[in-house]
Amino acid sequence: MSMKAQTQVMSIVIITGIVIALVSSAYIWGRPLIEKRTTIAEYSNLESFVLDLNDKIIDIANSGAGEYQLNIPFGRMEVTGWDEPDPDNNTIILEHVVTQPIVMGNSIPVKTNSLQDVGTYGEAQPRIITLTAIPQEADASYLLSMKVRYRELDTSTRPRKGFLIRINKPPAASASGKESITLSFDHNEIETGAAANKGDLVVTYINVRLV
């Protein structure tokens, strides 16, 4: 083989090596950015779903009737009924595993203006939404946990009243699920003098079932 031919072959090999190195470098350094964008997109979908779910619950509570069924977009949901001996009772939780962290450590509020157990009627929302990212030791992933918890809202003027949505404990077979969630009105009741402001507490019970 002539010197010229050898030079051409070596040039091709060198150029090919440079291209492979550049592509590999772009993948190595670009992958975290791609995963971060994917995680952000998944979080946005998770947040939208949880907010829509809350809107449906509020709509049922306000109208005193109705039923909705929503498909769970990803992850899995768990429900803790209002009467369960758990500090996180009266909650609906959506969990989803991602490859990049959104938050670390303590829970942060999501579109919630107050974290108090009793809010002011007309000012605070009847729900508290928080997000937590829990590192998973097995594969360096993160479990996003978005929790919706319903709290009492009290009037600040007379007549004193309190309002509360209670999530009925679902049957044991439907306390968690991955496919869909069904919400339906159960009943209203008034608990005399049971509100935090000493007024009557108006309670709306919502049935939740997961598949």
Per residue in 47-97, pLDDT (tens digit) is: 999 999 999 999 999 999 999 999 998 889 999 999 988 878 999 999 988
Confidence of residue 13 (pLDDT cuts 50, 70, 90): very low
What distance in Å separates the CA atoms of residue 15 and residue 62, rounded to the nearest whole number?
69
What pLDDT does residue 193 have? 97
Instruction: Provide the 8-state DSSP code for 79.
Output: E
pLDDT digits (tens, 9 = 90+) for 101-119: 666 667 889 889 889 999 9
- pTM greater than the 0.85 cutoff: no
Residues near 89 by Cβ (< 8 Å), separated by ≥ 6? 80, 81, 82, 83
Give dist(CA 162, CA 122) in Å, integer: 11
Give the least confident one: 70-79, 147-156, 166-175.
166-175
**40, pLDDT greater than 70:** yes
Nearest CA-CA partner of 148 in 178, 186, 107, 204: 107
Looking at the DSSP assignment, which residues form a beta bridge with residue 130? Answer: 109, 147
As a whole number of angstroms, the distance between CA 6 and CA 18 comes to 18
> Which pairing describes strands 108-109 and 127-136: parallel, antiparallel, or unpaired?
antiparallel
Beta bridge partners of 181: 70, 210
**pLDDT band for position 154 (50/70/90)?**
very high
Sign of CA dihedral 93, 96, 102, 105: positive
Query: 210 - beta bridge partners?
Result: 181
Residue 102 is predicted with a pLDDT of 66
CA dist 74 and 150 (Å) reads: 23
